[in-house]
Amino acid sequence: MVKTVEIRMRQCETSKLGDARFNGGVQVIGPSSFLSSAFIVLSFFPYLALPVGTGSNVPVSAFLGIAVWSLAPRVRALDLMVVGLVGAPILANALSAMLLGARIPVSGLVTWLTVVGGFAGGATAISVSADRCVKSIAYSVIGTFGFELVQLRGIRAGSVPFIEWYTLPGYGRLSDNASSIVEFVRRPFAQFPEPSFMAGTLLLALAVLLTVSRSVRPKLLRLELLALGVGSVGVILSQSGVAVVGLGLLAIVFLATSGRGFRARVGGIIFVVLGVAGGLSVLEQRSQALNFSWTDRLSSIRVSLQYWFSDPGLFIFGLGRGGMSRAFMDGSVRVSALDFTVAPKDVWSVAVRDIVELGLIVGGIFVAFMLSRIAAGGRRLGYIPVLVLCAIWLLVACLATSYESAVWIWIMPGACQGIRVLSGTRPGGSSPRL
């Protein structure tokens, strides 16, 4: 044991970051620890992004995630995973171009940096400075909820606060739809492009907070409980479809990992009841509202999958990055036969787009890889929490948003991989400490 600690300390001393120390058995590095916190906070601000062409962008948090990973001490397994993620779209594009003659836009490869940066940054941030990251998540969730309340009050008063800030290629210009937001939508979205984007981010962030905390200590801190509470309320206020099922799933994880104490069990049961009640209230409100958009999302997924299944070559090798948007625009994907409130110009699902564009082989492996990382990180919580965490990820990735810049879709599997790095690869290894 002493020899192992000496080796790890020597690795820290030779790291180019300097200022290395250990905190409770977990490596903490000064500059990298600060960058990890900044990465988490910036991941809640999708409008802080660099435009890529006229219709897409890459969040600044993705670049920061790559920086966090590149500056941290090397972990071979993680490095191989990152290299594999970088190569996945290149391989898929090469197969599509050679075998199907597809024209692949360069922008599709550039925006893939969001996936790489989110995963690599999430894994490294948790493995380098779990304590700071958990606090950063909690404060970011609480801050988002506060802004959501301010925005909701403004919408009910007849205006959207700071609406002129919501302008960036890849997102709709909200100032052009201010009247619709106030009169018909009437749902808060905080600093995000849309309510479901915000709700999905909050749900995944809370899942990561709960997973990391439960993996390293028996009880949640007051700050973490506060974040879980206000974050869940924030998801309900968004009236997003993910609230209908997502909060109940999150509550199941909370209950299953709450321990055997009476107070813990009662708290878990209360969370489950409130989560289910909140989900049902959202279902009732949205079903009666004029802005009922769930059918549009499901229909866009349906026609996309029909197009994907229509050709064996497309099914196996995919359209290539950026192919779905092009297929909608040139009429290859036929939407005229379906009834839409707003006709889609792309598939409104991140996971479905990735599978269709990367193909069955590369895309299937990609999604399976993300789920395997969640399972690897949550294995100490038990089989039921692992399955539920995977369901939460699939719910958000498939049904919450169409924006690949929703970086928490990629941070969650990365963070779970970070837990795996902390706990080691030995089946009987001791639990990590923050």
Q: Would residue 85 count as lying in a domain? A: no
The reply to whether 104 falls in a domain is no
C-alpha closest to that of 141 among 207, 186, 68:
207
User: How many helical (H) and strand (E) elements, i.e. helices and strands, does the chain have?
Assistant: 17, 4
Mean pLDDT score, 72-89: 93
List b or e across 287-314, with b for residues whose CB sees 16 or more CB atoms inside 10 angstroms: eeeeeebbebbebbbebbbebbeeeeeb
Q: What is the structure's pLDDT at 176?
A: 85
pLDDT of residue 425: 38
Residue 3 has a pLDDT of 42
More confident of the two residues 293 and 219:
219
CA distance 50 to 45: 12
The answer to whether position 301 is within a domain reads yes
Amino acid at site 195: P
Structure tokens belonging to residue 276: 């289910």
| For residues 145-166, average pLDDT | 94
Domain count of the fold of the chain? 1
Q: Is residue 82 one of the residues assigned to a domain?
A: no
| Distance between CA atoms of residues 142 and 228, nearest Å | 9
Would you say residue 97 lies in a domain? Answer: no
The reported pLDDT for the residue numbered 13 is 35
* Residues 311-355: tens digit of each pLDDT: 898 899 998 888 888 888 888 888 776 767 777 788 899 999 999
Q: Which two tokens stand for residue 57?
A: 């962008």
Does any domain span residue 326?
A: yes
pLDDT score for 330: 83
Please determine, for residue 137, whether its predicted confidence score (pLDDT) is greater than 90.
yes
Measure Cα distances from 68 to 381, 408, 432 in Å.
27, 16, 21
The pLDDT of residue 96? 83
Percent of the chain with pLDDT over 70: 85
Is residue 17, in this structure, part of any structural domain at all? no
pLDDT of residue 265: 66
Cα(434)–Cα(71) distance, integer angstroms: 21
pLDDT at res. 45: 97
Range of the domain at 203: 130-404
In a domain, 69, yes or no: no
The widest CA-to-CA distance across the chain, in whole angstroms, is 69
Spatial CA neighbour of 44 closest among 207, 270, 202: 202
> Apex CA 346: angle with CA 345 and CA 352, to 5°?
160
Range 242-265 average pLDDT: 81
Residue pLDDT, tens place only, 4-46: 433 343 344 333 333 333 333 344 445 678 899 999 999 999 9
pLDDT band at 67 (very low <50, low <70, confident <90, very high): very high
pLDDT at 157: 92
